[in-house]
């Protein structure tokens, strides 16, 4: 069964627009769990334009499903993980000013750096996932870092899904089989939605987790949060 982790960054963006505490990020996270989310994901950025560092601390005390913290592994991020000790830390190669994640790690170029970071995160008892492009050359170096999982960067799949879904998913199927052969757990995320999620799961049935935020929150404006989470869960029940 593939777990659905709900990324609540956009909830924090909405709250920050007015400067008060509505919507309440912690309450939304707890409600998302109650509505069927099997994990909560946050990506705290240095400028705190959505999730704030205090949010991470507040959530750590109440999230009862898997807590996944994404980010670039700078000193600030590593201190957050050391303090919070979430179930999972997902490493992304974002520069501080990035609007959203837009590529995976070059695990060949950054293998030694990632190896040291993964080892430190394991000392905190945290599972590690590395954000990665669907290119086979990056997977054996990823395995060499000691990471537990990789998270497939699925924006290219989502962008090409409506043109030719079989062609769009083909490189993901190829690398997922390689990941399985190497003993790497497999997550996926970025631009997954109610249109393309089911086919991805059908094509890669052993996906362990998907992290979805932007599309899910947009759908919740029309369908309501509880109903939307259940709709996404049903796409994974194939």
Annotated active-site residue 43? The verdict is yes
**Distance in angstroms (rounded) separating the CA atoms of residues 14 and 20:** 10
**Distance in angstroms (rounded) separating the CA atoms of residues 23 and 16:** 9
Q: Helices 9-16 and 25-34: crossing angle, nearest 10°?
A: 150
Q: Are 31 and 225 in contact (CB under 8 A)?
A: yes
Question: What's the mean pLDDT when you consider all of the chain?
Answer: 96
**Distance in angstroms (rounded) separating the CA atoms of residues 42 and 169:** 26
Give mean pLDDT, residues 89-99: 80
Give mean pLDDT, residues 147-165: 98
* Topology, domain 3-235: TIM Barrel (3.20.20)
- Output the pLDDT for position 119: 98
DSSP state of 1: -
Annotated active-site residue 122? The verdict is no
Give mean pLDDT, residues 190-218: 98
pLDDT digits (tens, 9 = 90+) for 65-92: 999 999 999 999 999 999 999 999 999 9
% pLDDT > 90, the chain? 94
Catalytic residue among 43, 50, 151, 209: 43
Contacts of 123 (CB under 8 A, 6+ apart): none
Catalytic residue among 33, 38, 70, 151: 70
Give mean pLDDT, residues 175-204: 98
- Output the pLDDT for position 102: 75
Residue 99 pLDDT exceeds 80: no
User: Of 182, 176, 184, 181, nearest to 157 (Cα)?
Assistant: 176
**Distance in angstroms (rounded) separating the CA atoms of residues 115 and 122:** 11
**Distance in angstroms (rounded) separating the CA atoms of residues 68 and 5:** 8
CA angle 191, 194, 198 (to 5 degrees): 95
Side-chain-side CA neighbours of 110 within 13 Å: the count stands at 18
pTM above 0.85, yes or no: yes
Question: What is the domain partition of the chain in residue ranges?
Answer: 3-235
- Output the pLDDT for position 103: 87
Residue 104 pLDDT exceeds 60: yes
Annotated active-site residue 190? The verdict is yes
Catalytic residue among 38, 50, 151, 190: 190
């Amino acid at each position: 069964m593939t777990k659905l982790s709900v990324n609540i960054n956009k909830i924090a963006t909405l709250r920050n627009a007015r400067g008060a505490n509505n919507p309440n990020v912690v309450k939304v996270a707890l409600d998302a769990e109650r509505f069927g989310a099997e994990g909560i994901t946050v990506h705290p950025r240095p400028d705190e334009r959505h999730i704030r560092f205090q949010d991470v601390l507040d959530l750590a005390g109440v999230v009862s499903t898997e807590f996944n913290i994404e980010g670039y592994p700078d000193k600030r991020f590593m201190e957050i993980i050391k303090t919070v000790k979430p179930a999972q830390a997902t490493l992304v190669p974002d520069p501080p000013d990035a609007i959203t994640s837009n590529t995976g790690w070059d695990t060949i170029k950054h293998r030694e750096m990632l190896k040291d970071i993964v080892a430190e995160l394991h000392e905190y008892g945290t599972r590690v996932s590395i954000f990665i492009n669907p290119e086979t050359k990056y997977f054996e170096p990823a395995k060499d870092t000691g990471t537990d999982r990789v998270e497939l960067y699925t924006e290219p799949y989502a962008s090409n899904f409506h043109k030719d879904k079989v062609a769009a998913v083909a490189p993901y199927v190829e690398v997922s089989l390689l990941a399985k052969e190497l003993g790497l757990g497999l997550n996926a995320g970025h631009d997954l939605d109610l249109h393309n999620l089911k086919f991805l799961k059908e094509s890669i049935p052993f996906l362990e987790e998907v992290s979805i935020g932007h599309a899910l929150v947009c759908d919740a404006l029309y369908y309501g949060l509880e109903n939307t989470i259940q709709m996404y869960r049903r796409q994974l029940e194939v």
